[in-house]
Amino acid sequence: MRIDKMLANIGFGTRKEVKKLLKTGAVKVDGVTVKDAKQHVDPEQQVIMVHGEEVEYREFIYLMMNKPQGLLSATEDDRQETVLDILEEEDRVFAPFPVGRLDKDTEGLLLITNDGQLAHRLLSPKKHVPKTYFAVIKGEVTEADVVAFREGVTLEDGYETKPGELEIIKSGLTSDIKLTITEGKFHQVKRMFEAVDKKVIYLKRLTMGNLQLDETLELGEYRELTDEELEGLLNYQSE
Ligand code: URA
């Protein structure tokens, strides 16, 4: 890979800025100053230093965020704050994006990465990747709802959902539930409850495939996936 591309990728500025940086003699590869932006380097094998400090190269970044309410799951928006706006600059330089959308008022597990292939695998409707949500529902969720969800419900636009696994944690004037679905239609959980005449008043995603929300993350906090989580996700095969 060209040295200018590599340094630009990890946040040393645009290709033009990196070119200038190289000209100053600040960059060394295996101890030898490199000024030519076209020079090829192998970041896996060679030691690359900028201003005397070794730089770590990597192509992909994988972040788990506990999304708070009030942020859009988008990469940019003219008026509203997005989940990317709360990332540190050092993470934003990788140009990551959220994998799938959580509504503005939904909390919980959001994977943010620049690995398009992984995102595609997790989001492809053909892959049926399960996602589990915790929700508080206005009204009493009953066994009849469990059965209805297991069979699939008809949304207001006529769409028949795939089976969902509904677990009632607490039932009453408001009910606490967990719901696992293998699709990701717009507002799906909310619309599934509307289909049985109930309203979601709080929604939080707990899992996506084999990735689980780290509950020690405060709302709005994020961290990189651990090696184990990443390996699990990359090897994840849904049914
Ligand atoms: N279903 C919804 O209704 N909203 C979400 O944010 C995610 C799933």
Q: Per-residue confidence of the chain (239 residues) as pLDDT tens digits?
A: 999 999 988 889 889 999 999 999 999 999 999 999 999 999 889 999 999 999 988 889 999 999 999 999 999 888 999 999 999 988 888 889 999 999 999 999 999 999 999 999 999 988 899 999 999 999 999 999 999 999 999 999 999 999 999 999 999 999 999 999 999 999 999 999 999 999 999 999 999 999 999 999 999 999 999 999 999 999 987 76
Ligand 1, residue 184: give the atom nearest the CA.
Answer: 8
Residues 224 and 182 in one domain: no
What's the number of domains the chain is made of?
3
CATH number of the domain at 42, please: 3.10.290.10
Q: Are residues 220 and 198 in the same domain?
A: no
Q: Are residues 166 and 215 in the same domain?
A: no
Instruction: Indicate the pTM of the whole model.
Output: 0.86
- The residue range of the domain holding 24 is 3-54
Q: Report the DSSP beta bridge partners of residue 191.
A: none
Torsion of CA 68, 72, 76, 80, to 10 degrees: -90
Q: Are residues 68 and 115 in the same domain?
A: yes
- pLDDT tens by residue, 14-29: 899 999 999 999 999 9
Q: Which of 103, 105, 176, 214 is catalytic?
A: 103
E strand or H helix at 200, and its extent? Answer: strand 199-208
- β pairing state of 53-54 and 62-67: unpaired
Dist. CA 228–CA 211, nearest whole Å: 10
Q: CA–CA separation, 26 vs 33, rounded Å?
A: 7
β-pair partners for 222 = 65
* Closest CA relative to residue 132, chosen from 218, 28, 207: 207
Is position 239 within any domain? no
Query: Both 80 and 189 in a single domain?
Result: no
Counting atoms of ligand 1 from 1, which one is nearest the CA of 102?
Answer: 6
